[in-house]
Structure 1
Amino acid sequence: MERRDFLKAASVGVIGSASAATLAAPAIAQSAPKVSWRLTSSFPKSLDTIFGGAEVLAKAVSDATDGAFQIQVFAAGELVPGLQAADAVTNGTLEMAHTCSYYYVGKDPAFCWGTAAPFGLNGRMLNAWFYHGGGNELLNEFYAKYNFIGLPGGNTGTQMGGWFRKEIKTVADLNGLKMRIGGIGGRVLAKLGAVPQQIAGGDIYPALEKGTIDGAEWVGPYDDEKLGFYKVAPHYYYPGWWEGGAALHFFINKAKWAELPKAYQAILTSAAAHANVDMQAKYDAKNPAALKRLVQAGAQLHPFPGEVMDASLKASIELYAEISKENEPFKKLHDAVMAFRNDEYLWWQVAELGYDAFMIRARGR
């Protein structure tokens, strides 16, 4: 090829490439549209681990889309009260919420299975059920009635049993006891004579301080220390049998979800999974030091007495049977969770429990 012909061909190639780039730009832009959503949390900003789960998700989504998909996170009370987060998603006021499913058991007790139920699954088992045991599908079948879908968005691990002004030595000590507790754990305690109260996290301390309630459960050492419960109720009990592993969810309005490009749906799903793992890792990392500080500050650790645990299990089984008779969605989720739990503990007792029990004994040597 002569030099003149080569330059001519090269020029055509450059022009063609430039034209292709010009034509491709709108397609690229269309594949990453600007999207701006608002998310309300059920938690105050002071609880950086549990509130922070929504911030972790928002950052991951923004990073993965070069800032095209922005999710603005609002603390409880900034847009809607903490315990009305799901309502704002149902009615389309907001695109998303970061909350606990069991906060809404007043609407339907079946909501408990998205977070935790007495003597249910621990945190790892919940994730196994969500992702590989059909849990997400069953829950979203239920959530569809409320116009949203749910993506697992964090877990606290097994929670503590709460803070009390006086010791709990027998089942009789629960009679008349006014206790802040979420989910349907309160209905179990009511069977044993307690008076359950559902109070948002930021309102628990004043209620304890004023004596409006006699006890309260929240999460565990790291968050409980921040809220200062040990100053007004020194008796710290374990385990929180009503929350063997408490999951959080990102609730997303169904119509808004459907409007997202498939790529954004995939990114949001991955970001939620990242936030889900990150939260429990943070709690596992932060709780040990916080527990030491609480004990040094005067917190008195107590295991729930065996008779209280046994009575609570019996009351839980009775409650599940009662609700299942009149609520098919509850029964469907209950049966799935309990079947999964029973198989999981076949495995747990072989390896997990054996290893942990040995290492705990070895630690004390």
Structure 2
Amino acid sequence: MNKGTVLSTAFMGLAALSMMAVTSTTALSQEFNLRMQTHYAPETVSGKLAQGFIDNVEKMSGGRVKIEMFWSSAVVASVEGFDAAATGIIDGEMHGGAYQTGKNPAFQFVGDPMGGYDNPYELYSFFYNGGGREAANELYNAYNMHLVGWWAGGQEAMSSSKPLRGLEDLKDWKFRSPPGLETEIFAELGASPIVMDFTEIFTALETGIIDGADASSLANNVGLGLYDIVKHATFPGFHSMPVDHVTFNLDVWNSFPDDIKAIIDTATQALALQTTMTFDIANLEAATKLKSEGVTLYDWSPEDRAAFRAGAMRAWDGWAEKTPEAKALVEAHHDFLRRTGKIE
């Protein structure tokens, strides 16, 4: 190899390295101005937690990612946020999968897998270590969306004018229920679910139209004033654990370099942990307050929880037959629940 060839080869190598450096620098300097929507108001507990997510993303990215949040469903109705992101009206959204069950019943099992898990940490384990992220994103990707992760406050509490010591007390128990899977689970176990709007709960309890209600978490139920009327509640809960999600338009997500994807994923995990801890504390404080005021709290036995889960699984199986996507997600949950000894 002559001197000219050596110099030429060296020059080409330096040029390639220089090009790689320029490309790397360009990627690291790329900025993203993102628009997202949530149904929460900024002054609520969940709104403040969502703001923490925004702050973390902006700080960890060194200002390369800026998020403009549209609070209180300011762009479109909450149920329309998913489609608004899928079609590019906004870049991402922080509502919940349960809003989309009308689109596909499979979303029930990413929005609130009722009866499946005892606390958010188990649900997070399914998502990150049990195949949940992959199974859920097969569903989301089909709608041009990417699911980054979940954030959950924990199990909701049942409020009642009668004792709710265990499964036997559900017999003929009339309660306010949201529509859908929950009504099927409780009806099959002998309760009498009555679908009514959230705003009607207080009056229905006062007048005795219902014996109890599925409203929200223990702390939120205190805020609603339910225990001024009824003096029994389940805590910790067992039946419903709705989750909110962090999603992005799939094309937008795929446009992010790997470091930005990692930053958003990490911020989502931090959001999940902070949300669960925040509501854990609020619910424990509420439980202490209610006990001092004469409200009886019922922590169901492992046997009653297992019996409720078995009833829920039977309803899940019916929903699994609705669409192939629902079947795939139900099977993913079943696999993880068997692996962790929750079901046989």
Q: Report the TM-score when normalising by structure 2.
A: 0.76
Match of 2:247 among 238, 248, 251: 251
Deviations 1:193-237 (CA, angstroms, capped at 9, x unpaired): 5345485xxxx3x32233398444344233333343334544322
**Match status 1:65 vs 2:61:** yes
Deviations 1:17-44 (CA, angstroms, capped at 9, x unpaired): xxxxxxx999746633332222222334
d(CA) in 1 for partners of 2:71, 2:194: 25
CA contact (8 A) 1:155 1:247 kept: yes
1:35-54 equivalent positions in 2, closer than 5 A: 35-45=32-42, 47-48=44-45, 50-54=46-50
d(CA) in 1 for partners of 2:302, 2:250: 45
The residue number in structure 2 matching 1:173 is: 172
Query: Compared with structure 1, are the counterparts of its residues 221 and 313 closer, same or farther at alpha carbon in structure 2 (3 Å cutoff)?
Result: closer
**Match status 1:271 vs 2:267:** yes
**Match status 1:88 vs 2:84:** yes
CA contact (8 A) 2:98 2:108 kept: yes
**Match status 1:208 vs 2:201:** yes
The residue number in structure 2 matching 1:31 is: 28
d(CA) in 1 for partners of 2:93, 2:265: 14
Return the letter of the residue paired with 2:203: K
CA contact (8 A) 2:156 2:239 kept: no
Q: Secondary structure at the match of 1:255?
A: helix
Residue 136 of structure 1: CA displacement?
0.3
Residue 180 of structure 1: CA displacement?
3.8
Q: Secondary structure at the match of 1:240?
A: coil
The residue number in structure 1 matching 2:101 is: 105
Return the letter of the residue paired with 2:144: N
d(CA) in 2 for partners of 1:298, 1:78: 41
Deviations 1:57-82 (CA, angstroms, capped at 9, x unpaired): 11101111233311123333433333
CA contact (8 A) 2:38 2:71 kept: yes
Query: Compared with structure 1, are the counterparts of its residues 239 and 104 closer, same or farther at alpha carbon in structure 2 (3 Å cutoff)?
Result: farther
**Match status 1:220 vs 2:220:** no
Return the letter of the residue paired with 1:92: G
Residue 83 of structure 1: CA displacement?
3.7
Query: Compared with structure 1, are the counterparts of its residues 126 and 317 closer, same or farther at alpha carbon in structure 2 (3 Å cutoff)?
Result: closer
The residue number in structure 1 matching 2:15 is: none
d(CA) in 2 for partners of 1:198, 1:33: 49
**What's the % identity of the aligned pairs?**
20
d(CA) in 1 for partners of 2:78, 2:271: 20
Residue 187 of structure 1: CA displacement?
2.9
Query: Compared with structure 1, are the counterparts of its residues 305 and 119 closer, same or farther at alpha carbon in structure 2 (3 Å cutoff)?
Result: same
Deviates more, 1:57-66 or 1:302-311: 302-311
**Number of residue pairs aligned between Structure 1 and Structure 2:** 314
Query: Compared with structure 1, are the counterparts of its residues 153 and 317 closer, same or farther at alpha carbon in structure 2 (3 Å cutoff)?
Result: closer
Structure 2 unaligned residues grouped into runs of 5+ = 1-20
Deviations 1:151-197 (CA, angstroms, capped at 9, x unpaired): 2232223x1332235555733433xx352447722332244453454
Return the letter of the residue paired with 2:53: L
CA contact (8 A) 2:219 2:286 kept: yes
Residue 56 of structure 1: CA displacement?
1.9
Residue 95 of structure 1: CA displacement?
1.5
Deviations 1:119-149 (CA, angstroms, capped at 9, x unpaired): 3134222222211222101100011122211
The residue number in structure 2 matching 1:186 is: 183
CA contact (8 A) 1:190 1:196 kept: no
d(CA) in 1 for partners of 2:310, 2:80: 32
Query: Compared with structure 1, are the counterparts of its residues 334 and 135 closer, same or farther at alpha carbon in structure 2 (3 Å cutoff)?
Result: same
CA contact (8 A) 2:317 2:330 kept: no
CA contact (8 A) 2:218 2:235 kept: no
Residue 54 of structure 1: CA displacement?
1.9
d(CA) in 1 for partners of 2:140, 2:327: 15
CA contact (8 A) 1:102 1:182 kept: no
Query: Compared with structure 1, are the counterparts of its residues 155 and 68 closer, same or farther at alpha carbon in structure 2 (3 Å cutoff)?
Result: same
Query: Compared with structure 1, are the counterparts of its residues 332 and 196 closer, same or farther at alpha carbon in structure 2 (3 Å cutoff)?
Result: farther
Aligned alpha-carbon RMSD (Å) = 3.4
1:1-365 equivalent positions in 2, closer than 5 A: 28=25, 31-45=28-42, 47-48=44-45, 50-122=46-118, 123-157=120-154, 159-165=155-161, 170-174=169-173, 177-181=174-178, 184-191=181-188, 192=190, 194-195=192-193, 197=195, 204=198, 206-211=199-204, 214=210, 215-243=212-240, 246-297=242-293, 299-303=295-299, 312-345=308-341
Deviates more, 1:29-38 or 1:132-141: 29-38
Residue 312 of structure 1: CA displacement?
4.3
d(CA) in 2 for partners of 1:130, 1:344: 14
Query: Compared with structure 1, are the counterparts of its residues 166 and 196 closer, same or farther at alpha carbon in structure 2 (3 Å cutoff)?
Result: same
Residue 250 of structure 1: CA displacement?
0.5
Q: Secondary structure at the match of 1:179?
A: strand
Query: Compared with structure 1, are the counterparts of its residues 144 and 32 closer, same or farther at alpha carbon in structure 2 (3 Å cutoff)?
Result: same
Structure 1 unaligned residues grouped into runs of 5+ = 1-23, 349-365
Q: Report the TM-score when normalising by structure 1.
A: 0.73
